[in-house]
Amino acid sequence: MFGKKILGIDVGGSGIKGAPVEIAGGKMLTERYRIPTPADAKPDDIAEIIGQIVKYFNWRGPVGIGFPAAIRDGVALTAANIHKSWIGTHIPTLVKRVAGVNSAAINDADAAGLAEMRFGAGQDKSGTVMVITVGTGLGTAMFFNGTLFPNTELGHIEMQGKDAEKYASDFTRKNEELDWADWAGRFNEYLITIEKLFWPRMIIVGGGVSKKHEKFFQYLNINAELVPAQLRNEAGIIGAAVWANQLRV
């Protein structure tokens, strides 16, 4: 017998994915449904895809949305790997207009972090824990004794004269055709920088690259305990649903 269910949606730079989530156990109830992110990623275009996902699941209940931006009170304050016209957009209002459902929005890395801390690698971990999602960009979520400090956006600190995510993301690895050892050298530089700033007890590496951690973890050398995410690509969907439940959408 399943308990409360919320549709979780993860908006990424390359794809928009969704699935119903059973909140108490943090389990996706179906395979995720994915639609490629449109090239310009403008508000109405992405909202339309969210509407398609809602329709695909014939969903009438609450929706949680993980979004690649700093989010405060449902408003996008930044726009990473999406169109700049998102800045200042109140996401739940837009989604209600286009898709007809009530929703809550949270930074995508924060969503993944919530899922990992509640149901994954960060369960019962005290002190400072960082979750770093590695994909199109570098997303970060920071927790202290299990409490989220939102919108850290540490993928945008400067490294080698550019945003860190332009230097050490998985997209950059693929785009520059770096082998795992060379890319891991860059990623380790990033981890060392994060460690010098926050001295976390644990760093959880998530995103799509986490399922290939055996290819690069041996090249990483930091003081914090380093572990792969357990929920991997499902974390953003699950965490977005958890967030909507916390806000009682």
Fold match, 5-110+234-246 / 124-230: yes
Cβ atoms 222, 191 nearer than 8 A:
yes
Helix (H, G, I), strand (E, B) or coil at 182: helix
* Alpha-carbon torsion (212, 22, 12, 137), positive or negative: negative
Q: What is the pLDDT of residues 63-115, one digit of tens each?
A: 999 999 999 999 999 987 789 999 999 999 999 999 999 999 999 999 999 99
**Any idea where the domains of the chain sit in the sequence?**
5-110+234-246, 124-230
> Which CATH class name applies to 124-230?
alpha beta
Q: Give DSSP secondary structure letters for 210-235.
A: GGGGGGTGGG---SSEEEE-SSGGGH
Pick the CATH number of 5-110+234-246 from 3.90.550.10, 3.40.50.1100, 3.30.70.2740, 3.30.420.40: 3.30.420.40
Instruction: Please give the mean pLDDT across all residues of the chain.
Output: 95
Helices 91-99 and 43-56, packing angle to 10 deg: 60
Confidence (pLDDT) at 240: 98
Confidence (pLDDT) at 1: 45
